[in-house]
Every structure is written in structure tokens, then in C-alpha cells.
Amino acid sequence: MAPPEIVARIERLREQIREHNYRYYVLDAPIISDAEYDALMRELRELEAAYPELITPDSPTQRVGAPPAERFAKVRHREPMLSLANAFSVDDLRAWYERIRRLLGAETAIAFVVEPKIDGLAIAITYEDGRLVLAATRGDGFTGEDVTANVRTVPSVPLALRPPADGRLPRLIEVRGEIYMRIADFERLNEQQAHAGEKVFANPRNAAAGSLRQLDSRITASRPLRFFAYGVGPVEGVTLRSQWETLAYLRELGFPVNPDIRRLEDIEAVIAYCQEWMSRRDQLPYEADGVVVKVDSFAQQRELGVVAREPRWAIAFKFPAREATTRLLDIVVNVGRTGRLNPNAILEPVNIGGVTVSNATLHNEDYIVSRDIRIGDRVIVKRAGDVIPQVVGPIPEVRTGAERPWRMPSACPVCGTPVVRRPGEADTYCPNRACPAQTVRLIEHWVSQGAMDIVGLGERQARLLVERGLIQDVADLYTLTPASFAGIEGYGPKRIQNVLQAIEASKQRPLARLIFALGIPNVGSTLAAKLAEHYRSLDALANASVQELLAIEGIGPHVAESIVAFFADPDNRALIEKLKRVGVRTEAGPEETPRDGPLAGKTLVITGTLAGMTREEAADLIRRAGGKVGSSVTRKTDYLVVGAEPGSAKLEKARQLGIPLLDEQAFLRLVGEQPAEALPRAERTPETMPASDATQADQLRLDV
């Protein structure tokens, strides 16, 4: 007999999982993260494995999803739409492989088909004699919802099949796949929803599910939904022998199939694929929470069979969680170098993907108000790659009534000056240019590596120097003496000498660095380099008109007006004159003169983090080789340099335009530099390993 506390725990887990299934599959409004749900399900499975006499037919481990909603007609699946078992580590994946190897025979050759696991909505679409007749959600795996009218509005779902090579269409075929929303489309949709005062979605999966399950198909048609086919259910009139053959056949019929699917011959190659995509998941244009691994042969699949509503022949290798739920304890406001007030969330610490998160961005006042985020809320927090964690939204269903709405303060929290919000802008600013917080941030930006690169000075030192009254603007840095550092902990004679030498050396930084360091709104390092190349001196740039700036490629009206407004400000003009008096060079030096080189006439864009250099150093290499550095991928881009954690939008655009992608070593070969010495093998990661052995940079294409 199982102990009473075990029986009670199992019942409690079942109740919780059923409720979460209902919220996820029916309401499209989950109140816990996928990782938290997986933990509940894993605990239930382990308890049922230890006490099999407690397994019941209606246990969540024996079913998939949740019952269909009453508002849709029910559809009984001819063949169940099963869920997948999960592997949370390489050891889990190898254990699964050993199990199927024992069942099939140790000497049996096993091939696999692998693909990124899209976080969308599973769908089954039935065609009779080549015509779409029915589309149903997975539901509980046995009964789904009839969403035919809505699926017919999804552009990538064919309404009629293309005849295959032999010209014969199957009499009946049920195509299974995923309805999803690309990240860029999801973000645009949320912006539109917020602007219209409508509900915003927590993530692309919820947006896709909510869009597909509309009673008015016109709403579905207005949403940017897409479809990837990944398999079939019942089929009549054609014989398919493997998963790989099936995918090729689906392409022939006109279905989009994930281009990153691969057929692999052994488990080690499968593991390498899973690990590679775990490190490159941010390169995908859609959300993926793992990799699906399937035995390729249908004969082997039938031999392996199904257990507990899960096929033995397939498994999902899950990536570490990037979302979690936690309590929002407070919202504090920081003041940036431009005076912008930045609301930040103070969170009850939560582990997301192995990192403890206690702070997250909230963007601006409109973001908080449109999502009705309140202090005390249970909130969803997302951490993707190296991006600062952000609060996605609240979980209003679990509110207690003690939560407090938040509003932007009417006065600067540092200097007390009344704040302003310019017409048409989402951001709020402190207009006081002498605000100590702004001064600290301006100095922090000025001394940063991408700007004037003054080693030994950072936020802490800047704050101390401002608080002591030694610095009122960045030009005052050049008036510091050894006595200025007296009493500052950690600054002995040698360190003071090094800092003052670094300050002196920064006077000769390239003009592009100076322009960037000034902190002109909307002018990043790439645009600063373009302005330096065009104007060759700070005075010439300061006297430029909006019309002149608009003639420069890549500069639009908003940026041009921002530059002109900056130099029209008397305080900024005075600062420039003060910089000249203290000896800062304000004209381009000979090292900034464009010259011929291997990249002459070429434009390169950089995305992600490079292992052996900063992005500013890479940009300098491009310019020294005669090339130009672009800020966005366009038809005029010749190469995209791809580092770790690259931006998915740039990668997707490069894919669409057929622009060659370079890893770091190929980039160094292209500019004529020796690649950095390779890391010891044990320290190499997928981000630092070359992605291709191609020797000709012009031919190098990474499959990302």
C-alpha cells in the first residue's frame, strides 16, 4: 500500500496539472512557465513509476493536452495525436537511445530525423482528393476542435495540394504540423494591440493559439500566422516508408517544411545537433524550446510502439528554461545619460536557465500601463541570450487585490526637476542637464571601450568624482590631477598614474569615437563612423543642416533632426569648445583616411558577440580594410559577420536576401588578419568553433 501522503500528493499533482492543461490548451492563458509545468509532470511520472498501482486511466500522464472548448465543434482524430517524452540532458537522450536500441536489437542500424521544436499550436489538416476539408487542433490527443475556417486563412497552408512528381494525389492525407508566429511578427502584433488598447500576448505561442481559435475568422486572417508541416496521420493512396521520405513528399505537395531538419545516422550526431541549436536558438526567427528527435524508419517506429500515450520512437530534447514566474516586489526608476527615466522591476529572485534574476527591464510607462503590470503581481519574466531580462506581463488570474498600479513619477527621482514627455514619444525625461545622474551616466559612456576607452574609470569612480564636485561634465576629466584621487579607496600612486595616462591618451582617439562618446541621441558607433568619414571634423558636423544629413545614406529625418538639435543646444556647443581647450582632438586623423583594401567597395554588418574582439574593434578592421560598416542588413550588404547570440532579425533578412554569412575566423581571413589563436579544445564551445572549413570567404555560408 502506498503511504497516504504519497496518495495525497499524486492527487494534488493531477489536480494542478489538469488545471494548467485547461489554461494552456483551452484558455490560452497559462499561469506558470513551461519549465514549472514540466517539473510538476516529471514529479507525477516519478511517483507513478514508484507506485504503479496508483496509475489511473484519467491521469494526466495517460492523456495529452486538455478537452476541446465547447465553443468549437469537436473532431475525433482518426489516429491519436500523441505528445512526446522529454529529455532534459544529454544523459537522458542517451538513456532513451539505449532503450530503443535494446528493443530493436543491438546490431540494428538506426537513423534519426531531427528538427528544432517550435513553440506553437499542433494542428491536423485533412485533404481529400487534394482539397482541404478539415483542420483540427490536437485537443486532448483524441478529440480536437474544428478550426477549418480559421486555418484556411493561413497563407502558408495550401487549400489545394500540388501534384507530386508522379502526378497522383493521395485520396486522403492528414498533414500534421505547427501553427506558429515569428518573433518579429509577434512583436509587431503586440505593438498594434497595445496602441489600440487591446490585450497583448505573453509570448508567440499564446499569440498563435489565441489567433487561431477566434470565432471570427476575419480576425485570424489579420494575424501573421505561419505553418510548418512535420508529419502525417492517416494516409490513403500513397505508401510512405520513413519520416525523411514523408517530409520530402510533403514539400512536393506544397507544404512548407522546416529548412533546419536533418537526417542523422548515429546518436552522437544527434547530440551534437541538439547542443548546437541550444547555443544558437536565438538565431531562429521563431521561438523554439528544444529539438525533436524521431527514429526515421516507419517500420522501426511500428516495432517500438507507444507507451503511456507517448511514442517510444520519438523524444523532445528540451532547452534550458528562458521564462519563469515570480513576484514583482517594486518598480524603481533610473535616470540615463540622456535624461531618460527607465523603469526597472525589482523581483523576487528566480532561476531562469541557470541564472538567478532579481532585476528586469520594464521599458517605459506605456509598456507597464498597456500590460496592466502592478507592484505585487505574479509576473512572467523572460531572459533570452545576453539580453537584459524583461517582464513580459502579469498573471492577473492569481491576483489577491493587494497589488498596486504604478505611474511614472512627476519629478526626477534624483534631482527633483519636473519631468517631461515629448508629444508622440513613449519615453519620459528629466530636462535638467545638470542632473547628477545624467552626468554620471554620460561620463560612464564617455570612458567606455567603444567610446574614448579610458581604462580605470567606470560607474563607481564617475559617481565618486561627481559627488565630490570634481567633475561637472566630461571635459572636466582632462583637468584631473593626482590630488583629485586622494582618499578614493583602491587608488594608489601607480593606479592614479595609469588612469591619468589613459585620460591623456584618449585625447587622440579617432573622430568617430569622439562623435559616439558625445552621446548624441540616435547616433551609435556605426553611424558615428559614417559621420566622421563624411565630415572629417566635429565643427563641420556641428554646422551640418538637416538637408545635408538626409543626403547621407542611412540617415532619416528623425535622426537628422536629432543631430542638428544636439549641436544647436548652447550647452553642447560650450562643451565642444571646452573639449578643444583641454586638448581633445576634434578632427579626423590620418589613420581614419579611407584606403583601398580587401574590402574596398564592400559593406559588412556585424551581429552577435565576437570571441576575440569587440564589435568596435571589428568595425575598425572593416574600415581599415577599405570597407563600410552597415547598421542593418539590406540588398547592399555584402556580408553578415555572425558572432555568438546574434540578432534573429538580421539573420532572417540575410537569409531572405541570400547574403553570405561569415563566422569570426572567416571574417579575419577576409580582412587579411591572422585568426586569433584557437582555444584549448576543452574550452571550445559551439560559439567559438568555426562553422565551416571553407577556405574562400566569398563562398562561406553558415547554415543558420
- Cβ-count burial 19-42 (b if 16+ within 10 Å, e if not): ebbbbbbbbbbbbbbbbbbbebbe
Pairing of strands 378-382, 323-335: antiparallel
- Reading the block at residue 174, the C-alpha cell is 492528414
Using 50, 70 and 90 to split pLDDT, how confident is the model at 704?
Answer: very low
The whole-number average pLDDT for the span 87-116 is 93
**Within 13 Å and on the Cβ side, how many CA atoms surround 311?**
20
pLDDT per residue as tens digits for the range 6-48: 999 999 998 888 888 777 665 667 788 877 888 898 899 899 8
Nearest of 204, 525, 226 to residue 384 by alpha carbon: 204
Per DSSP, the three-state class of 569 is coil
* Per-residue confidence (pLDDT) for residue 676, from 0 to 100: 39
187, containing H or E segment: helix 183-195
Q: Tens of pLDDT along 190-245?
A: 888 887 878 788 788 889 988 998 888 888 888 999 999 999 999 999 999 999 99
Please give the positions annotated as active site: 117
- What does the pLDDT read at residue 462? 84
Mean pLDDT over 579-591 rounds to: 89
Band of residue 261 on the pLDDT scale cut at 50, 70, 90: very high
Confidence band (pLDDT; 50, 70, 90) for 684?
A: very low
Query: Is 346 in contact with 312 (CB distance < 8 Å)?
Result: no
Q: In whole angstroms, what is the distance from residue 303 CA to residue 240 CA?
A: 16
Whether the per-residue pLDDT at 531 is higher than 50: the answer is: yes
**Confidence grade of residue 65 (pLDDT, cut at 50, 70, 90):** low
329-385: pLDDT as tens digits = 999 999 988 899 999 999 999 988 777 899 998 989 988 998 899 999 999 998 865
Query: What's the gap between Cα 685 and its chain centre?
Result: 20
Helices (H), 51-147: 90-104
The three grid cell numbers given for residue 424, joined into one nine-digit string? 508622440
Residue 336: exposed, middle, or buried by beta-carbon count in 10 A (0-12, 13-18, 19+)?
A: middle
Identify the pLDDT of residue 480. Answer: 94
Residues 6 or more apart from 208 whose CB is under 8 A from it? 120, 121, 179, 180, 181, 225
pLDDT at 682 over 50: no
Q: Mind listing the domains of the chain with CATH numbers?
A: 4-62 (1.10.287.610), 76-318 (3.30.470.30), 322-430 (2.40.50.140), 436-590 (1.10.150.20), 594-699 (3.40.50.10190)
Give helix then strand counts, H and E, for the chain: 23, 22
Looking at per-residue pLDDT, the higher value among 244 and 664 belongs to 244
Give the three-class secondary structure for 603: strand
> Average pLDDT in the 560-577 region?
93
416-467 pLDDT tens trace: 999 999 887 889 999 998 899 999 999 999 998 889 999 888 778 888 888 8
Distance CA 105, CA 351 (A): 41
pTM of the model: 0.60
CB crowding 292-326: b at 16 or more within 10 Å, else e: bbbbbbbebbebbeeebbbbbbbbbbbbbbbbbbb
pLDDT for residue 692: 30
Contacts of 460 (CB under 8 A, 6+ apart): none
Specify the residue for cell string 565643427: 539
Q: Once rounded to an integer, what is the mean pLDDT over residues 591-618? A: 79
Residues contacting residue 555 through CB under 8 Å, at least 6 positions apart: 527, 549
> Smallest Cα–Cα separation from 664: which of 602, 608, 599?
608
Predicted pLDDT of residue 208: 92
